[in-house]
Amino acid sequence: MLIDAKDRRYLVTLKEGSAFHTHAGIVQHDNVIGIPEGSMVKSSTERSFLVLRPTLSDVVLKMPRGAQVIYPKDLGAILMQADVGPGMRVLEAGVGSGALSMTLLRAGAKITAYEIREDFAQHAIKNVHDMLGDEVDYDVKIRDVTEGIDEVDLDRVILDMPEPWDVVKHAESALRPGGIFLTYLPTITQVQLVREALHQHSFGLAETVEILRRTWHVDGRSVRPDHRMVAHTGFLTSARRLVGPVESG
């Protein structure tokens, strides 16, 4: 990742003999390859760029998109709310551009992903492999998760799709007892529908949250919240798979 004096960030895939062209001049890839992270490199116009390996957050925000990505502030919360860890078997549906897939795989999970759109699936596969390599445990299937889930004894079911309430009954059969169901939704009316579906099946401990992220301006004695913040992006709703019907009261 190249960062200019105005904190503009450019994601670059380095290749010997190639060059990165920008309004501030040309940066030769050969001048970047092999130098330590945190170094400065100059363009053909003597402009300086800071050189760093991108974080996962940087990649998520800058990578090619086939669909809208889940923001990093929500991705971190998903890992905690769904309690995703190494070796867990996770069913993901609605892979989009692969941001959630990358996050789950980096946490050590084994991912089976359902996606109804071939173009989104190919975008996600390329982005995941570009970031994490080809050896990750990532199996993408072109199919509609609302028609059923083949996998059983799953640890987690994580959905980024418009109508997850149609999946609740399938998740009930696919998840192991104690497994976690989690969905990411933009509107509270969608949340209401999925909460009703969870209540009608063997799920309990349902919870819905949203994450707001506000950065601060800190420059000497000038300390204040930044004028802009990443506020509402989506709601995270999770529940645990229980054994037998859930009694109310």
Place of tokens 């975008």: 123
In this prediction, residue 59 carries a pLDDT of 87
In this prediction, residue 103 carries a pLDDT of 95
- Residue 249 is assigned to a structural domain of this protein: no
> What CATH number is given to the structural domain containing 75?
3.40.50.150
Same domain, 198 and 137: yes
Please count the structural domains in the chain. Answer: 2
> What is the residue range of 130's domain?
57-241
- Residue 156 is assigned to a structural domain of this protein: yes
In this prediction, residue 249 carries a pLDDT of 44
- Residue 248 is assigned to a structural domain of this protein: no
Task: Give Rg (Cα) of the chain.
Answer: 21
Same domain, 108 and 129: yes
Contact of 86 with 108, CB cutoff 8 Å? yes
Same domain, 94 and 210: yes
Same domain, 195 and 233: yes
Same domain, 22 and 67: no
* pTM passes above 0.75: yes
Q: Which two tokens stand for residue 218?
A: 């800190």
Between CA 243 and CA 176 the distance in angstroms is 9
Please identify, among 12, 29, 53, the residue that sits at the C-terminal boundary of a domain: 53
Same domain, 35 and 137: no
In this prediction, residue 245 carries a pLDDT of 58
Same domain, 116 and 98: yes
Same domain, 135 and 165: yes
Same domain, 44 and 79: no
- Residue 246 is assigned to a structural domain of this protein: no
- Residue 174 is assigned to a structural domain of this protein: yes
> What CATH number is given to the structural domain containing 18?
3.10.330.20
Q: What is the pLDDT along the chain (249 residues), one digit of tens a residue?
A: 999 988 889 999 889 999 999 888 899 999 999 999 999 999 999 899 999 999 888 888 887 776 677 889 999 999 999 999 999 999 999 998 899 999 999 999 999 999 999 999 998 999 999 989 988 999 999 999 999 999 999 999 999 999 999 999 999 999 999 999 999 999 999 999 999 999 999 999 999 999 999 999 999 999 999 998 888 999 999 999 999 655 554
State the pairing for strand pair 48-51/39-42.
antiparallel
- Residue 9 is assigned to a structural domain of this protein: yes
- Residue 97 is assigned to a structural domain of this protein: yes
In this prediction, residue 244 carries a pLDDT of 67
Between CA 174 and CA 189 the distance in angstroms is 26
- Residue 211 is assigned to a structural domain of this protein: yes
In this prediction, residue 52 carries a pLDDT of 93
Same domain, 101 and 132: yes
Same domain, 35 and 71: no
Same domain, 111 and 186: yes
